[in-house]
Structure 1
Amino acid sequence: MNVRAALAALFLVSSWAWNGAVLAQSDPLPSWNDGKAKTAIVEFVRRVTQEGGPNYVKPAERIATFDNDGTLWAEQPVYFQLQFAFDEVKRLAPLYPEWKSKEPYRSVLAGDMKGLAASGEKGLLQIMAAAHSGITTREFERLVVSWLNTARHPTKKRPYTEMVYQPQLELLTYLRANGFKTFIVSGGGVEFMRVFADKVYGIPPEQVVGSAGAVTFRLSPSGKPELFKDAKVEFIDDGPGKPVGINRFIGRRPILAFGNSDGDLQMLQYTTAGDGPRLALIIHHTDAEREWAYDRKSPIGKLDKALNEGQANGWTIVDMKSDWKAVFPPEP
């Protein structure tokens, strides 16, 4: 046997051994502590995938929907897409000197969050429009990629794509290994999330449902056909908009839905109202040491009505502090 053949044989043996170890791994969710939440997930997957069983669900109908902010990645101290918009305003400020004295831009440039809050929803929409419109969709994607490659979370000092939840990455992988199709259904901007969803979560762009601004087709100054982002809001995928978005873009009612706030309530209601086996899950942010502790009174990710309904209806409430061994992936 020559050297190349010997190395090939050694590689194959190593691969078989490694694959065998993975296949033999008894715990599909190693970052989840044993308890009611983990048991509910594993038992649900077992029931819906057991061929011939009374709760068997065909693979085509194994639809799982996940909120993004606060469910798949963190959302404090502000939603990450909003932080992107703030940073874009700062980057563009030299082109618009009037912003230094004009609200809500003045508050963003001065780091005055109280002043920005006083501008209300109208002010936030102005900020988002300044950061997200008037450019092509390709240019927007380039800006998001650049920001994700350079920006760091203000307190954790990690790239935003590392502010994802390790237990949820495992859950997504586990579900897909059992024939589920996983979707993001989020109030965040659909074109913002599509930039990183495949790389970070393994969820392709066509399986991302989110809020959307109007987009128009026209020729660029060079004569090239392009899609341009407008300032007009076309669809809000939050609250009651989530079931509407699911119906419009997925076309099947989920059998599993995972959220963390009152903005996910209607998606959870819609999921559990279907026939057959259903699983609704809510992350309760209870870990002030490893992440943040917040719920009913939080201006970001408020969890009040959904928590009440989840407790009353027996939905699975995931306690971050007690149910997760780890929150974020290990730092490189």
Structure 2
Amino acid sequence: MDEAAVLPRQRPAPAVQGGKRRPKREREGAAWVFLSPWVLGAAVLTLLPMAVSLYLSFTDYDLFDPPSWVGLRNYTQMFTEDPRLLRSVLNTLLYVLVAVPLQLALALAVAVALKSMKRGKGFYRSAFYAPSLLGASMSIALVWRALFNDGGTVDNVLGSLGLHTGGWVNRPGWALLSVALLTVWQFGAPMVIFLAGLQQIPKELYEAASVDGAGRWRQFVSITLPMLSPVLFFNLVLQTIQAFQVFTPAFAVSGGRGGPADSTLFYTLYLYDRGFTASHMGYASAMAWVLLIAIAIVTAVLFRTSRSWVFYANEEGR
């Protein structure tokens, strides 16, 4: 018997450039070279401004004179001596509770309708997504204000139906709703995410439910919503965080003052007013950190409660 056939085969040595393997430190150095633009950008544009803002939140700073250390005075003043701050918090919470559910409900309804379409799906998907690209601009916000102003298009249409509102942006009870509707109109981004999630649901589940006699509504409640719950949770967290930071629509609708009667005085708008209009940059920095902590708490609560209603197919016992 041939001796070569008995001996075990030896694996060929891995090919290395130049006959030598590159040292580990050299490979790590190359990785850091490619990562350096991101690391530099994160440090200079994010971490450094955050550190400066944290320092300024403990100072009295008016943008012109050097900051003077005041300790926790800005924070205590926020919670004990500033009634407009409480009004801005309540307006922001009301806006989040109204705008986010309506936006997600409309996005899901349109996504379900697009999924069942046979022709023209790409066109309608692009058309519905376009407001998400344009809605954050000041120009669109100004057009929105003109639509809901006294004598605007919405006022004229409602007036022809016998409903004389006098302009939504001029009435304290309706101004916040007009801003919320602008956010609802920008449902394109969550709609696209919902549509992607709907396309991942197996058709066999709907076929089996149909055989068992389940109607469309029962299929939606028992199949679509549970299978889509991770996507719904993702959109809920994302849109909630964005809603807490709303600024441009409120600034445009109220002219930067939060009117009428502070009905559109959102937290970020009041932060801008304290920092750049009143030149209380230390106080505004403290407000910014309170907002960051509040968003972190709300996000943590959403993640905590998601255990009871978000369904993951690869988890056991769910």
Q: TM-score range by the shorter chain?
A: under 0.3
More helix by share: 2
- Name which structure has the greater RCO, CA cutoff 8 Å, separation 6+: 2
More strand by share: 1
TM-score by length of structure 1 reads: 0.25
Q: Which has the larger radius of gyration?
A: 2
